[in-house]
Structure formats: structure tokens, C-alpha cells
Amino acid sequence: DADVTQTPRNRITKTGKRIMLECSQTKGHDRMYWYRQDPGLGLRLIYYSFDVKDINKGEISDGYSVSRQAQAKFSLSLESAIPNQTALYFCATSLPSYNEQFFGPGTRLTVL
Amino acid sequence: SQQGEEDPQALSIQEGENATMNCSYKTSINNLQWYRQNSGRGLVHLILIRSNEREKHSGRLRVTLDTSKKSSSLLITASRAADTASYFCATDDLTSGSRLTFGEGTQLTVNP
């Protein structure tokens, strides 16, 4: 079984709709992250959480919100999706003592 | 903003040849990491080099770090078709609080 899972894997939605992307992990890591990747570009950090009570904005948090429901679950919401939020979204986890990050398989989101 | 910048953006070589990718960054770092991404999939951690290290090896991978020039290189020796992927450097800088900043990646194609 995969250590970091994301649901859904693919989603097509319309402008203005609310979308939630979910991430679950079985690695027991406290730290979780959400990134987006646009074609031909690297990853940009949206939000990150170092424990259940800790939520921090990343580089590009506008238009997004997150919820850390448990150590193992970190959800990303688009309150009102817009076309330029079309991208590949990745969840990742890490340990505090060693900053190697473990990535989920990604969610491909298309906003029409 | 992107901390790491990879060079070249794309590299095409024949199987058996060596592949070298470079990464430059702007700020002082705790460590620099290299990740691999197969098309449209999650990133996989390859190797981490700390700011007080100059060279590190892992199998066919060799990473160097020059903090005076704020640059790193990733060498893949005796490349294989299965090495075809995008390679990203990521920096954990002293002010980021253990967040990683990713470069835009080098697309490596290894031709059989």
C-alpha cells in the first residue's frame, strides 16, 4: 500500500465550484505539505502543517484553504475554483529531524 | 519565487553516457536535495547533501555542492533508458523553517 495517498487522482470541475482534495498518510509523519505544479515548472508551496494545530501559508495560498483533521490527514480546498488553478497538486510529508519529503501520486485538477 | 535554477532545462543523451545537471540557488542553505519525477507522477527523493558536505555518492549518483558559488551538480553515471525523467533540486534555506524551495527542473531523456 502507498504511504501517501491522494484522492481524487483526477478531477474536472467548473469555474465557481468548491473542490476538496484529500491527502492521507501512513508514515506517521507530523509534517505535511500541499504543492501545485504547472506544466514545465517546479513545485510551489501552497500550505504546510508541522502538526495538527499548526497551519501555515506557503508561497501561493490565495484562493486555497486547508484543514488538518488528524496527524494522518491534510485536505486542500478551493473555495471557488478558477481556470488558472488548473494544475497538478501534490501532497507530501516529512519528519522534523530530516527534511526528505515523501510525495503522493498527485491529483490532476482541471477547472473549465 | 524559485530558489533553485536548473541547467540545462532539457538534456538528451544515449544510454551508457553520463548525465550532468546543475542547480544554482540564491540564499544560504541547511541542505540541498535532488528529486526525480517520472512523467506526471509524484516526486521521489534521490539524495540530500548538507551545507557542510562537498560531495556525496549514492549508487550511480554523485552530487557536489559548492556553497561559495551557491551551486550543486547531479551526475548520473552509465545512464539507462529508465533514468528518463525530470530532475529537481530543492533547497532548505536557513530562513525557511524547513520548507523546501524547488527549482524548475531538468528534463532528462536517455535514448536506448
User: ω into residue A8 within 30 of 0, thus cis?
Assistant: yes
| In the predicted structure, residue B2 carries a pLDDT above the cut 60 | no
- Give residue A107's identity as a one-letter amino acid code: T
Sign of CA dihedral B107, B37, B79, A94: positive
Q: Give the pLDDT confidence of B76-103 residue by residue, as tens digits.
A: 999 999 999 999 999 987 776 668 899 9
Task: Please name the residues between 11 and 30 in chain A that touch chain B, using a CB distance below 8 Å.
Answer: none
Q: Give the pLDDT confidence of A17-34 residue by residue, as tens digits.
A: 999 999 999 999 999 999
pLDDT, mean over chain B: 92
Nearest to B105 among A4, A42, A99 (CB): A42
- DSSP classification of residue B9: S
Per-residue model confidence (pLDDT) at position A98: 67
Q: Give the pLDDT confidence of B47-68 residue by residue, as tens digits.
A: 999 999 999 999 999 999 999 9
Task: Kindly list the residues from chain B whose CB atom is less than 8 angstroms away from the CB atom of residue A42.
Answer: 2, 4, 88, 102-105
Residues 6+ apart with CB under 8 A from B21: B6, B7, B8, B11, B73, B74, B87, B106, B108
How much is the average pLDDT of A75-100? Answer: 92
Per-residue model confidence (pLDDT) at position B5: 81
| In the predicted structure, residue A97 carries a pLDDT above the cut 80 | no
Q: What is the share, in percent, of chain B residues with pLDDT greater than 90?
A: 79
Per-residue model confidence (pLDDT) at position B3: 60
Task: Please name the residues between 90 and 109 in chain A that touch chain B, using a CB distance below 8 Å.
Answer: 90, 92, 94, 96, 98-106, 108
